[in-house]
Amino acid sequence: MSKPFLSIENMTQTFPDGQGGTLTVFEDATFGIDKGEFVCILGHSGCGKSTIMNILAGLAEPTSGVVKMDGFEVSGPSLDRGVVFQNYSLLPWLSTLKNVTFGVKARYPDWSKAKVEAHAREYLAMVGLEGDVVHRKPSQLSGGMRQRVSIARAFANHPKLLLLDEPFGALDALTRGTIQDELLKIWGGTEQTVFMITHDIDEAILLADRILLMTNGPFARVAESVEITIPRPRNRTDIVEHPNYYAIRNHLVQFLGQRSKELAGQQSGGEPQSPTRVVIDKTGPAPDPEPTTKPQLRAVND
Amino acid sequence: MLDNLSTNQRAAVLSVVMLVVGLLIWEAAIPAQKAASELTEYERLTGGGAPKAGVPPPSQVLAKAWEQLSNPFYDAGPNDKGIGIQIGYSIYRVLTGYILAALIAIPLGFLIGMSQVAYKAFNPFIQVLRPISPLAWMPLALFIIQDSEASAIFVIFICSIWPMLINTAFGVAGVRQDWVNVARTHELNGIKTAFMVILPAAAPTIITGMRISIGIAWLVIVAAEMLVGGTGIGYYVWNEWNNLDLTSVIFSILMIGVVGMLLDSAFGFLQRAVTYAE
């Protein structure tokens, strides 16, 4: 088995608990992401999703363990790893266009001014921001438009890995749907590797190739890796008709509602904690791609 | 009649009414000098005919203002210079001291705002030095610098440094971590982060500090010039008091107010230019 594009090996994060001891958020987490893959991570608040995100972005250091991308260990933030923050993090004194050129200029310092601007406009247009609206300040945009700008800024930089930290968490359901579609469209054209945190099960199924499920903290771990066996291109109205949709959805709901608690608090004992691979496919007796792994259908009602 | 005017227009009408009423009350409140022919013989014998020094009526102040402002830059010797020259000297001293203060306060404030250690190390000094009346430095400044002109500039420097220093440190320390993270994920180096993210983010707070400082500097220059003498609007006020020319005193008080307002509105304009809405 070849090394994945991004691999997280034995990553442990502890914080002081304020009473002289330490609080272990997660321990020896070990998983990988392949190039071009769209991976979502689901779990309850406090299980360390955002900590994992910050470590991948290079904004925080794990207590121990390594993150390797393309075979090299990463440390510190880098333009190779673009981040879309939940609160958009646009610079409010810059116009929409300037917020995107800010990133492009950082990424391609030797591009001409005209080239930078044309590139920024192209990516803004991909998320539906064209014309005079690009000269508005972020405060004059709706929440959905601000997140579009943030997504355009991240994609325009062509990062090797794109990190999305609950990008739609603060948006209403209708806007969220529209921007999810736009995200799928822009992602489809780039083969970008994406790692995304979300709380929304339907969003995760619509967007992801694979969903990582985390147990509750402390001593949280990435317990399962569920493959989304629904072919692309996906469409929110069609995927619910797919025979696998509710099987996968029920499995996820079961996990988050029940098993995330039951599996919580298990210490690793120093062993790497890799997620169990779960494939749910009801479309017929398809050949198992890797017959040596766990049973094809895990019990969903245990 | 006032109903179809905008708020601004109504306010302007009210301002003019207040001004006119105030001036009329002032004019009416000044007792007229009796003409010599109306006095009794006894009053004339006891010196009642000599003009009494009193607060001048606004009409005299306006006449004085017209006279002074129509020829503001005349120079007829050390004790007789036009109002424009006097104000020019004051503004020169204020700006020199103020710019020197800004050159130190803003970079130092950046440092203090960026580093917790620097903040805590500098804080006791700032807290002790800040409440000292700038004029209290004057004797020490005169002794060490041995030059009244430079001492006045030093007093302006020392009074305008604190609001700029404190506001810069406060503004820089309060820059949202999200924006700093944007700079970090875009691999901006320290200098670029300072100029492209932290400076614009903290600019409204920094400019507020600069605006407070220029106001204080303009307050202090009048007092400082009364002490050091020679030139400047503060010296002018004191000189006219010694001449018992209250008309000129009142006129120069008004000029101090007008120049202070102009300085403040320049910074108000700058403040609006850098303010952003979140």
pLDDT of residue A135: 95
Residue A169 pLDDT greater than 80, yes or no: yes
B57-274, superfamily in CATH? MetI-like (1.10.3720.10)
Taking the Cβ of residue A59 and every Cβ of chain B, the question of whether any pair is shorter than 8 Å is answered with yes
pLDDT of residue A88: 85
Q: What percentage of residues in chain B have a pLDDT greater than 90?
A: 76
pLDDT of residue B29: 87
Count Cβ atoms below 10 Å from residue B174 Cβ, excluding itself: 11
Q: Which residue has the tokens 């050949």?
A: A287
Q: Which of A121, A115, A224, A206 is nearest to A168 (CA)?
A: A206
Is the ipTM here above 0.85? no
Q: Poorest-confidence range of A278-282, B39-43, B260-264?
A: B39-43
Chain B interface test: which of A87, A89, A95 (most B C-beta within 10 Å): A89
Residue A294 pLDDT greater than 60, yes or no: no
Rg (CA), chain B: 25
pLDDT of residue A293: 45
Shortest CB distance from A89 goes to which of B182, B188, B276? B182
Contacts of B171 (CB under 8 A, 6+ apart): B109, B113, B201, B202, B203, B204, B205, B206, B209
Chain A interface test: which of B175, B182, B197 (most A C-beta within 10 Å): B182
Q: Which residue has the tokens 């400019």?
A: B207
- Residue B3 and residue A291: Cα distance in Å, rounded? 86
- Residue B82 and residue B72: Cα distance in Å, rounded? 5
pLDDT of residue A199: 86
- Which residue of chain A comes nearest to B179, CA vs CA? A89
Going by pLDDT thresholds of 50, 70 and 90, the confidence category of residue B166 is very high
3-state secondary structure of A227: strand
- Chain A residues closer than 8 Å to B174 by CB: none
Domain ranges of chain B: 1-52, 57-274
Chain A interface test: which of B181, B186, B272, B276 (most A C-beta within 10 Å): B186
Residue A292 pLDDT greater than 50, yes or no: no
Q: What are phi and psi of B230, to 5 degrees?
A: 100, -70
pLDDT of residue B48: 66
Q: What are phi and psi of A44, to 5 degrees?
A: -75, 165
- Residue B75 DSSP one-character state: B
Contacts of A112 (CB under 8 A, 6+ apart): none
Helix (DSSP H) and strand (DSSP E) numbers for chain B: 12, 0
- Residue A156 and residue A192: Cα distance in Å, rounded? 11
User: Judged by CB atoms within 8 Å, which residues 64-83 of A form the interface with B?
Assistant: 77-79, 81-83
Going by pLDDT thresholds of 50, 70 and 90, the confidence category of residue A280 is confident
Contacts of B179 (CB under 8 A, 6+ apart): A89, A91, B197, B201
For the residues A165-176, what does the mean pLDDT come to? 87
Going by pLDDT thresholds of 50, 70 and 90, the confidence category of residue B16 is very high
pLDDT tens digits for A258-268? 888 888 777 76
For the residues A140-164, what does the mean pLDDT come to? 92
Between chain A and chain B, the number of residue pairs with CB atoms below 8 A apart is 55
- Chain B residues closer than 8 Å to A53 by CB: none
For the residues A128-140, what does the mean pLDDT come to? 92
pLDDT of residue A1: 46
Burial A262-289 (b: 16+ CB within 10 A, else e): ebbeeebeeeebbbebbbbbeeeeeeee
Q: Please, what is the average pLDDT of chain A? A: 86
Interior CA angle at A275 toward A78 and A77, to 5°? 10
Contact A93 B181 (CB under 8 A): no
Going by pLDDT thresholds of 50, 70 and 90, the confidence category of residue B43 is confident
pLDDT tens digits for A44-83? 887 888 889 999 999 989 999 889 998 888 888 999 999 9
Decide: A9 and A196 in contact? Cβ < 8 Å: no
Residue B53 pLDDT greater than 70, yes or no: no
pLDDT tens digits for A234-247? 888 888 888 899 99
